[in-house]
C-alpha cells in the first residue's frame, strides 16, 4: 500500500503504519498536550493508542491462524479506520476461511474479558478516572469484536458469510453474493452516518470498495489460476549485453521501438534496462556501459507460475513486464498487456455463457 512504512515485525510479519494513521496519532497527542479540546488529555491519547494496539492484535490473530494453514502473510497495514492483513492467497476451503475470519473478533472479546477481570480485581486500588478508562477500553474491544462480525466484505463477517455460502454453492457465486450483501450494508451504513457519525461514512466507503475489490480478485484468480506463464510468454526475446554502451542501446531502442530490454550475459539474466534509465544519462556520457546503470534487483516469473501470481507481481511493483527465468536463464518475457488481453477474452466468454 502506498504511503505506508514499516514500524516493526512480529512472527516474521512486517507491521506498517499508513501515513494518515501517523498524522492522526500525532494530532491527537498535540491536542492532548496543548489541551486544545476539552476531555482530550494524555490519558485519552494513551487510551486511543491502546485501542490501536488491540487492532494490531486482532490482525495478528488472523495472521497466526492463516500461517497455521500454510498461508503466507505479506504485511499488516494500520489505517485510521482499522488494520488490513495482506495474505498471499485467499483460502478456498470454507472451514479454514471461517477459522481465520473468526480469530480476529475472538481476540477482541478475549482482550475485553481479560481487562474486565483486571478491572474487578483492582477496583480498590485504582482511581475512578483509571477505572473509567479501563471500562471504556473493554467496551470498545467488545464493540470491535461484534462490529467486525457484520456480514460485509472486507470485514470478518463478510468472510464468515462467504465460508457459510461456499459450503452450499461455488466459490465465485458465494463471493458475488457476499459482496452484494456487503455493498448494500455499506449503503445503509453511509445513510446512518449522515445523521449520526461521519466516521461511519468513511467505513461505508471502505466496505463498499472492499466488497467489489474482493469479488474482482476472486474472479481474476478463478479465471487465471489454471493457466501458466509458459503458455503465453514471448520466447523470442530481444536482449542487450552488459558491456554495450548507452549510445548503442539507444540506437537499438529507436530502431526496434522497444522501451526496455533484459540484460543477459551468456544466456544468464543479469539485469534489465529501460528507456527511462538511458534518458537520464547526459549526451557526453553515453559511452557508459549498460552494466553500470541497469537494474539488478529484478522481479521475475517462471514458466510454471500462474498468470494470476504474475499479474499480482506486475500490479504490486507497478511495472509493465517481467522476464521469465528458468534456472537463472532467460526463457521468455510477459507483459501486463498480454495478461489483461487474456483476462478480457476469458471474461467475455464467461459473460456469453452466463447470458
Could you tell me if 179 and 161 are in contact, meaning their C-beta atoms sit under 8 angstroms apart? no
Q: Please give the C-alpha separations between residue 138 and each of 120, 124, 152, 197, 216, in angstroms, as whole numbers.
A: 12, 18, 24, 21, 37
Which of 163, 214, 209 lies closest to 186, judged by CA?
209
Q: Please give the C-alpha separations between residue 239 and each of 245, 296, 297, 334, 335, in angstroms, as whole numbers.
A: 13, 15, 17, 14, 15
CA dihedral of residues 97, 99, 101, 104 (deg, nearest 10): -160
Cell of 69: 494453514
Q: How far apart are CA 87 and CA 42, in angstroms?
A: 35
346: phi > 0 → left, psi -120 to 50 → alpha, else beta; which?
Answer: alpha
Cell of 285: 556520457
Handedness of CA 214, 216, 218, 224 (dihedral sign): negative
Q: How far is CA 51 from the centre of its chain?
A: 22
Candidates 59, 97, 214, 305; catalytic one = 59
**Residue 74 bears catalytic tag:** no
Residues near 20 by Cβ (< 8 Å), separated by ≥ 6?
3, 79, 80
Cell of 22: 501517523
Cell of 100: 481465520
Q: How far apart are CA 347 and CA 175, in angstroms?
A: 16
Q: Residue 88, SS3?
A: coil
Unique residue bearing C-alpha cell 500461517: 67
So which residues are the catalytic ones? 59
Amino acid at each position: 500500500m502506498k504511503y505506508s512504512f514499516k514500524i516493526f515485525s512480529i512472527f516474521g510479519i512486517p507491521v506498517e503504519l499508513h501515513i494518515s494513521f501517523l498524522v492522526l496519532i500525532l494530532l491527537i497527542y498535540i491536542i492532548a498536550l496543548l489541551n486544545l479540546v476539552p476531555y482530550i488529555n494524555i490519558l485519552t491519547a494513551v487510551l486511543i493508542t491502546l485501542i490501536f494496539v488491540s487492532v494490531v492484535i486482532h490482525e495478528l490473530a488472523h495472521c497466526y491462524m492463516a500461517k497455521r494453514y500454510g498461508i503466507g502473510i505479506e504485511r499488516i497495514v494500520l489505517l485510521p479506520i482499522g488494520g488490513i492483513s495482506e495474505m498471499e492467497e485467499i483460502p478456498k476451503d470454507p472451514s479454514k476461511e471461517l477459522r481465520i475470519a473468526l480469530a480476529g473478533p475472538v481476540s477482541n472479546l478475549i482482550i475485553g474479558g481479560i481487562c474486565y477481570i483486571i478491572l474487578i480485581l483492582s477496583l480498590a486500588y485504582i482511581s475512578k478516572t483509571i477505572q473509567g478508562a479501563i471500562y471504556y477500553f473493554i467496551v470498545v474491544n467488545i464493540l470491535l469484536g461484534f462490529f467486525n462480525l457484520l456480514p460485509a466484505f472486507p470485514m470478518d463477517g463478510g468472510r464468515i458469510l462467504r465460508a457459510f455460502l461456499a459450503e452450499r454453492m461455488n466459490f465465485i457465486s458465494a463471493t458475488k453474493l457476499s459482496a452484494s450483501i456487503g455493498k448494500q450494508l455499506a449503503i445503509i451504513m453511509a445513510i446512518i452516518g449522515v445523521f449520526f457519525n461521519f466516521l461511519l461514512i468513511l467505513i461505508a466507503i471502505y466496505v463498499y470498495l472492499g466488497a467489489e475489490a474482493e469479488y474482482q480478485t476472486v474472479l481474476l484468480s478463478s479465471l487465471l489460476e489454471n493457466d501458466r506463464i509458459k503458455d503465453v510468454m514471448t520466447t523470442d526475446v530481444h536482449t542487450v549485453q552488459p558491456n554495450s554502451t548507452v549510445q548503442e542501446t539507444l540506437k537499438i531502442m529507436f530502431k526496434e521501438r522497444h522501451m526496455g530490454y533484459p540484460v543477459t550475459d551468456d544466456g544468464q539474466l543479469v539485469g534489465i534496462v529501460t528507456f527511462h534509465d538511458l534518458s537520464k544519462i547526459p549526451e557526453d556520457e553515453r559511452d557508459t556501459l549498460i552494466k553500470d546503470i541497469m537494474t539488478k534487483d529484478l522481479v521475475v516469473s517462471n514458466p510454471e507460475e500462474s498468470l494470476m501470481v504474475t499479474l499480482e507481481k506486475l500490479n504490486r511493483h507497478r511495472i509493465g513486464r517481467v522476464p521469465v527465468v528458468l534456472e537463472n536463464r532467460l526463457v521468455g518475457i510477459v507483459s501486463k498487456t498480454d495478461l489483461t488481453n487474456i483476462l478480457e477474452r476469458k471474461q467475455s466468454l464467461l459473460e456469453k455463457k452466463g447470458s
